[in-house]
Amino acid sequence: MVKILDFWAEWCGPCKFMEPIIEEIEKELGSKIQIEKINVDEKQDVAAKYQVMSIPTYIILKDDKEQERIIGATSKENFEKAIAKYE
């Protein structure tokens, strides 16, 4: 299964822009992917572990190994293309 780590913060404008896109993707691909939202203000240790320097950052994992990283806001189409490579 593909797992996506979604690093975000309450105060982050691009994160708010991406939120409905992520929710749509989760509804459409819900059985194929798992999305874990990680608030960087609350879980700084996890952000440090993955060396997240800016948000939003999306890390695509397959078999718990990092496959790809999307940094910043992107289109739904680009996000889906990235996920499709690992399904």
DSSP-derived 3-state class of residue 50: coil
The more confident residue out of 55 and 87 is: 55
Determine which one of 15, 47, 60, 70 is catalytic: 15
The full DSSP string for 17-39 is HHHHHHHHHHHHHTTTEEEEEEE
How far apart CA 70 and CA 18 sit, in angstroms, is: 12
Question: In this structure, what CATH number is given to the domain that contains residue 32?
Answer: 3.40.30.10
Determine which one of 2, 5, 12, 25 is catalytic: 12
Report the mean per-residue pLDDT for the chain. Answer: 96
**pLDDT-based confidence at 60, cuts 50/70/90?**
very high
User: Is 26 a known active-site residue?
Assistant: no
Tell me what the mean pLDDT of segment 18-36 comes to.
94
User: Is 2 a known active-site residue?
Assistant: no
The model's pTM is 0.95
Number of domains forming the structure of the chain: 1
58 bridge partner residues: 6, 70
Tell me what the mean pLDDT of segment 50-79 comes to.
97
How far apart CA 72 and CA 15 sit, in angstroms, is: 8
The residues, any chain, with a CB within 8 Å of residue 36's CB and separated by 6 or more, are 3, 4, 5, 6
User: The domain containing residue 42 runs over which residues?
Assistant: 2-84
- How many Å is the maximal CA-CA distance in the chain? 32
